């Protein structure tokens, strides 16, 4: 599997990625809208082991990947694409030091290309906390369209005083890509 953009290369995670993954998974600013985090070292190790195991056990339907810079090899985030039948779901998390540089757009477009062209999926979705404006804009920028908002569908983000938050779902069909 070769997944890359002009500036990024995607590869499977390894145990050697611990320091880089923990550098963003342990930061509140990075995980504020995620369903996990900030991680302890043990939680980051568990995630990496889970990702390695999941990719080995389900190499066709589950891809949990490291996002690296082609120029230096530096790991700057992670992403995933998993699917059942003909529908996939994508997700990503980039280190905050690499936000607002177009990496998310490159990454999102490559995940869509991989899903539609290589895996022959018919539809791909992505979800986020309703208050995660950055992810919502990114999904729209890569051509995904708002599908629904489910109220109280997920634990609230880390700065919220509410117990539950709303989840936004975006989608794109193969013929729209």
Q: What is the pLDDT of residues 12-26, one digit of tens each?
A: 999 999 999 999 999
pLDDT at residue 143 in the model: 98
Domain positions in the chain: 3-176
Peptide bond into 38 cis (omega under 30): yes
Confidence at residue 10, expressed as pLDDT on a 0 to 100 scale: 97
Question: Looking at residue 155, what is its pLDDT?
Answer: 84
Angle (deg, nearest 10), helices 133-141 and 103-113: 50
Residue 157 has what pLDDT? 74
| Rounded (10°) CA dihedral 114, 117, 121, 123 | 80
Q: Is 149 exposed, middle or buried (0-12, 13-18, 19+ CB in 10 A)?
A: exposed
Superfamily classification of domain 3-176: Gcn5-related N-acetyltransferase (GNAT) (3.40.630.30)
Under a CB-based contact definition with an 8 Å cutoff, are residues 152 and 125 in contact? no
Whole-number pLDDT of residue 55: 80
C-beta of residue 52 within 8 angstroms of C-beta of residue 83: no
Q: Which residues contact 70 (CB under 8 A, 6 or more apart)?
A: 4, 6, 7, 8, 9
Kindly list the averaged pLDDT for each block of 10 residues, start to end, along the chain of length 177.
93 96 95 91 96 82 93 97 94 96 97 96 97 96 98 83 90 97
């Amino acid at each position: 599997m070769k997944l890359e953009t002009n500036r990024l290369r995607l590869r499977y995670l390894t145990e050697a990625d611990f320091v880089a993954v923990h550098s963003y998974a342990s930061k509140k600013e990075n995980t504020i809208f995620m369903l996990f985090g900030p991680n302890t070292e043990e939680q980051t190790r568990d995630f990496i082991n889970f990702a390695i195991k999941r990719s080995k056990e389900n190499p066709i339907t589950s891809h949990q990947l490291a996002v690296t810079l082609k120029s230096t090899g530096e790991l700057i985030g992670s992403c995933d694409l998993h699917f059942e039948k003909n529908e996939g779901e994508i997700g990503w998390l980039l280190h905050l030091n690499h936000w607002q540089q177009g990496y998310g757009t490159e990454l999102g477009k490559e995940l869509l290309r991989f899903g539609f062209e290589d895996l022959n999926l018919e539809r791909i979705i992505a979800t986020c906390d309703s208050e995660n404006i950055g992810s919502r804009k990114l999904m729209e920028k890569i051509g995904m369209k708002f599908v629904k908002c489910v109220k109280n569908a997920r634990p609230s983000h880390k700065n919220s005083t509410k117990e539950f938050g709303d989840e936004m779902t975006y989608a794109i069909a193969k013929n729209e890509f």
